[in-house]
Structure 1
């Protein structure tokens, strides 16, 4: 398994140091002793020893970040105000594909709108695109949930006016749950269902409810970002482009 961030962690740190040593934006910081304001801008002479040391790493980093891993057929724009978007559907559908490689019995996927951090534009998708899309060190998690807890999760999704879900459909009115299905079927409170998500959500992030007491919890060693890169590369190698569609999986009625 490739560990993208581990491999390039030093490169990011090095480039960050270079950015600080040659910053052109003016910032001010007060000293502890006399509260003097010191401008950090391009009037400070760049330390060539540092920049000469960092430049080879920066070149490697830029080459890796600019590596094309796929092509998107259209702009997928991030919009937290929409209950469903091309971008959110792409994300959770990708999670379904990745999740079923981790556990073939995964039933549905879920993310949060706040967890998505950038757009995927039409055209080339690079490694850097995915680092911007998912900048966090999150790991995939498979949760086996009681049906009753799945319904609690559905209540949360409704109260938050919709969240990204894959292989599931939800109907919301006035932020109240009207209906929730997985693969077109109603939830049986006495059955268990497997959810693919990531550790931030599984551990209570974004105030998600219904995940506190899973029947079983399996944390993958794969970062979400790594999984997305591999997923896109897999589609590209099959000769296909990255696509998404709106299908009414998150529907809000008046």
Structure 2
């Protein structure tokens, strides 16, 4: 799958290069004088030579993006204001499964609500659908954390009114942590826990706390979207759909 997506990215890059490489101007200026604003609209004639040159690459790209991976019986809607959503649960569970392929000792998974960029529409789930969910060049990362650091992470999750988590059940009240269980067990400060996430978060993205000083770290060569594509394909092979339930894993107590 990584090879296919690399070819995919190559085609996109070639397309962009062809567009800009076809310009007649071949010199550079250190300064621009006599600036003039030129309006670009549908009155500007299309350059058919460039269009025809790019068209085969464009068609290949669209064919790849339209490749069907699975089926969603209902839409998984993005809503960052909810502590838990079907989309966040699906994403976190996928991340957990991907992480456990890298290291079977992974205990739980973490994403962020802002990191999931789009929902999944009802119907066929395509490669393009997954690119919309995770368009970034983020790589699957496994962090081994001390129990005391997991506690700091749990407090961060509470203060932000919940984040996407897998194999975790937590209760929050007034942005304070009431409980946080991994695999049904309370955090043991004397243990270490392996977390599946991605390098953006591991590098301090979205200001996540508690993960900046891991006992160990493994950043893989697998992009998150590549893992998601393989995950959805495996669901389809097993006769399963792209779906998730609200299971109370992140509960806000009023």
| Matches for 1:58-97 after TM superposition, within 5 Å | 58-97=58-97
Runs of 4+ with >3 A deviation: 13-20
How big is each residue's C-alpha offset from its partner over 1:95-150, in whole Å with a ceiling of 9 and x where there is no partner? 11111110000000000000011111121000000011100010000000000000
| Matches for 1:170-209 after TM superposition, within 5 Å | 170-209=170-209
CA RMSD of aligned residues (A): 1.8
SS at match of 1:97: helix
Deviates more, 1:195-204 or 1:47-56: 47-56
SS at match of 1:77: coil
The answer to whether the 8 Å contact 1:140/1:223 transfers is yes
**When the two structures are aligned, how many residues end up with a matched partner?**
245
Distance in 1, Cα, partners of 2:248 & 2:159:
18
1:18 to partner: Cα distance: 8.3
Deviates more, 1:127-136 or 1:239-248: 239-248
Distance in 1, Cα, partners of 2:104 & 2:34:
62
Distance in 2, Cα, partners of 1:74 & 1:165:
21
1:178 to partner: Cα distance: 1.3
Tell me the residue number matched to 1:146.
146
Distance in 2, Cα, partners of 1:134 & 1:57:
23
Distance in 2, Cα, partners of 1:74 & 1:64:
23
How big is each residue's C-alpha offset from its partner over 1:26-54, in whole Å with a ceiling of 9 and x where there is no partner? xxxxx942342211222222222211111
1:171 to partner: Cα distance: 1.0
Distance in 1, Cα, partners of 2:199 & 2:213:
14
Tell me the residue number matched to 1:224.
224
Q: What's the TM-score, normalizing by structure 1? A: 0.91
SS at match of 1:81: coil
Is 1:11 aligned with 2:20? no
SS at match of 1:107: strand
SS at match of 1:135: coil
Deviates more, 1:8-17 or 1:122-131: 8-17
1:10 to partner: Cα distance: 3.1
Distance in 2, Cα, partners of 1:96 & 1:66:
26
Q: What's the TM-score, normalizing by structure 2? A: 0.91
1:201 to partner: Cα distance: 0.2
SS at match of 1:40: coil
The answer to whether the 8 Å contact 1:67/1:126 transfers is yes
5+ residue gaps, structure 1, are 21-30
Is 1:211 aligned with 2:211? yes
The answer to whether the 8 Å contact 1:4/1:226 transfers is no
